[in-house]
Amino acid sequence: MSGWVERSIDIGGEPLVLLEAGKGRPLLILHDELGPADWQVWHEKAVAAGRKLIMPVLPGFRSDRLKWIRDVRDLASFLGRVLRQEDLVPVDVIGFSFGGWLAAEMAVANPGQFRKMALVAPFGIKPAEGYITDMFIVTSAEYIRMSFADAAATPEFSALYGSPDPQTIEGWEDARRECAEIAWQPYMHSPSLDHLLGGVGALPVLLLWGDKDAIVPESAMRAYEKALPHVEAKVFAGCGHRPELERREDFAAHLTRFLD
């Protein structure tokens, strides 16, 4: 987790860890289904651009779970309280995969808590064609490799995923268990989300994904495009589910331009 500084807060008697880095306008990062992200090149670029990064370690994802959180909308409500308590509203947000779905649910509940929202290959909408890959029928290592179009050509792959230690693998499994608790039925989507997204109104949204994504099919991304009132989309050619790693320079450039 080099680059991150941990800070613990109390939310209505419930503990929550925030990973933070940099100074400047806050950028809320909602991590993916395997838990909080290790330090990456795009994080460094965001800090260099004058951003304070704030990434909550979601309950149950390498942290103690909160049993009363039964689904993603419960989690979205919990994080809304975090933003109010930390006086972050309105804040820029970027959500990755599961975290993208979470950001979308938060925006549906209260679009005013965000200034701008970037969604990176988000779960949340059932694809009209194809299906969201079942992360529970493969190992976590296999799932990670499936999320890259070309892992061997991705400079950060080896450092982040090449030789995971037992603690890291255990963290991935904790995260997968929490996904099973709150996003199993129906699997990784909400039947109502696409109907509700129109309510985010004038909130600017950036949708980012790769055309070789083997986790979330293109039809789900197109459904997000159709449902969101003010959205721009960037598709990275020859890229899988993790454009922040496979196309890190272009990814950082597009994100910076959008947020600024």
Phi, psi of 55 (to 5 degrees): -120, 105
pLDDT of 246-257, one tens digit each?
999 999 999 999
Instruction: Residue 132: count other Cβ atoms within 10 Å of its Cβ.
Output: 19
From the centroid of its chain, how far is CA 29?
7
Q: Which of 207, 187, 251 is nearest to 100 (CA)?
A: 207
Share of the chain above pLDDT 70, in %: 100
In the predicted model, what is the mean pLDDT of residues 5-10? 97
71-75, long-range: CB < 8 A, 24+ apart: 71/182, 71/183, 72/101, 72/102, 72/105, 72/124, 72/182, 72/183, 72/190, 73/105, 73/109, 73/190, 74/182, 75/102, 75/105, 75/182
Instruction: Residue 192: count other Cβ atoms within 10 Å of its Cβ.
Output: 10
Angle of the 98-109 helix axis to the 166-183 helix axis, nearest 10: 40
pLDDT band at 63 (very low <50, low <70, confident <90, very high): confident
Sorted by where each starts, the structural domains of the chain and their CATH numbers stand as 5-259 (3.40.50.1820)
DSSP 3-state percent helix, strand, coil across the chain (nearest 5): 40, 20, 40
pLDDT of 217-226, one tens digit each?
999 999 999 9
Whether the per-residue pLDDT at 1 is higher than 70: the answer is no
Evaluate the CA torsion angle 198, 200, 205, 209 in order and state its sign.
negative
In the predicted model, what is the mean pLDDT of residues 191-213? 98
